[in-house]
Amino acid sequence: MTSIGKREVSLRFLAEPGDVNFGGKVHGGTVMKWIDQAGYTCAVSWSGRYCVTVYVGGIRFIRPIRIGDVVEVRARVIYTGNSSMHLSVDVQAGDPRQGRFEKTTHCVIVFVALDENGKPVPAPHWEPQTDEDRQLQAYARKVMSLRTAVDEEATRMFPTAG
| Total domains present in the chain | 1
Cα separations in angstroms, 5 against 10, 12, 55: 15, 21, 21
Cα separations in angstroms, 137 against 76, 78, 106, 128: 11, 5, 16, 7
Tell me the CA end-to-end span of the chain in Å, nearest whole number: 47
Per the prediction, the chain carries an average pLDDT of: 93
Residue 68 lies in a domain: yes
Residue 143 lies in a domain: no
- For the chain, the residue count is 162
Residue 51 lies in a domain: yes
**Tens digits of residue pLDDT in 138-159:** 999 999 888 888 888 888 999 8
Residue 141 lies in a domain: no
Residue 155 lies in a domain: no
pLDDT at 3 over 50: no
| Rounded CA separation 79/123 (Å) | 11
Provide the CATH number for the domain around residue 46.
Answer: 3.10.129.10
- DSSP letters, 97-147, are TTT--EEEEEEEEEEEEE-TTS-B-PPPP----SHHHHHHHHHHHHHHHHH
| Mean pLDDT confidence for 124-134 | 95
pLDDT at 87: 98
Of 68, 86, 89, the closest CA to residue 78 belongs to: 86
Residue 80 lies in a domain: yes
Q: Which residues pair with 94 in a beta bridge?
A: 70
Residue 112 lies in a domain: yes
| Rounded CA separation 122/25 (Å) | 40
| Mean pLDDT confidence for 96-110 | 95
**Tens digits of residue pLDDT in 23-65:** 889 999 999 999 999 999 999 999 999 999 999 988 999 999 9
Structure pTM? Answer: 0.90
Find the domain containing 66 and state its range: 8-126
